[in-house]
Amino acid sequence: MKHWFSSKASKGGNILDKLQKDIKSKFPQIQIPKNLNLDQLPKVNLKYIKDLADQVVKSFHQPSGSKPTPGQVASSGPMKFPYTFSAKLAQFPYKFYFQNNWVWRYYPIGIVACLPIFWCISKMGKTF
C-alpha cells in the first residue's frame, strides 16, 4: 500500500490510477468496468473524513427511525414491575413499615434488651 502514502509533490488522482494498475497486474481475473468514472468519486481530504466521522458519531447517538416523540420520553419514575434486586430495594416502602409494623419498631429495643443476656451466656460458655 505504498501508493496510499503520497508526498506533497504527487497528485491525488495519481493514487487511483496507480491503484487501478496494481489491481490489474496482481489480479488479472478481476474485470474493472470500463465505464467507471473515477472523476465522480468524492475528493478524499481531511475535511471530507471529518464530516464523515461526524455523521457516523451522530448516527450512534441517535439511530435513524428511533427519534423519541414527546409521548415516548421515559420518565424517571419507579418501575412498574421491579424485577432486579436493587429496584426492589429502591421501591420497598420503608416508611410504611416503620410506621405500621410493630416488628420494625421493637426490633432495636429487643436487641438492646437481649445483648446483656447474650453477653452473660457467652461469658459462661468460655469459663469451662
Residues 32/20, Cβ–Cβ less than 8 Å = yes
Q: Is residue 119 part of a domain?
A: yes
**Stronger pLDDT, 102 or 28, i.e. the higher one:** 102
**Stronger pLDDT, 84 or 127, i.e. the higher one:** 84
Instruction: Answer yes or no: do 57 and 92 share one domain.
Output: no
Number of domains present in the structure of the chain: 2
Question: Taking the model in full, what pTM does it have?
Answer: 0.28
- What is the share, in percent, of the chain residues with pLDDT greater than 70? 62
- Condensed to tens digits (0 to 9), the pLDDT of residues 53-65 reads 888 777 776 655 5
The whole-number average pLDDT for the span 43-54 is 81
Residues 104/96, Cβ–Cβ less than 8 Å = no
- Condensed to tens digits (0 to 9), the pLDDT of residues 88-128 reads 888 888 888 888 888 888 999 999 999 999 999 999 988 76
Q: Is residue 116 part of a domain?
A: yes
- Condensed to tens digits (0 to 9), the pLDDT of residues 29-39 reads 666 666 666 66
C-alpha to C-alpha distance for 23 and 30, rounded to whole angstroms: 8
DSSP assignment string, 77-108: S--SS--SHHHHHHT--HHHHHHH-HHHHHHH
Cα radius of gyration rounded to whole Å, the chain = 37
Q: Is residue 114 part of a domain?
A: yes
Domain extent at residue 18: 12-61
Instruction: Answer yes or no: do 57 and 93 share one domain.
Output: no
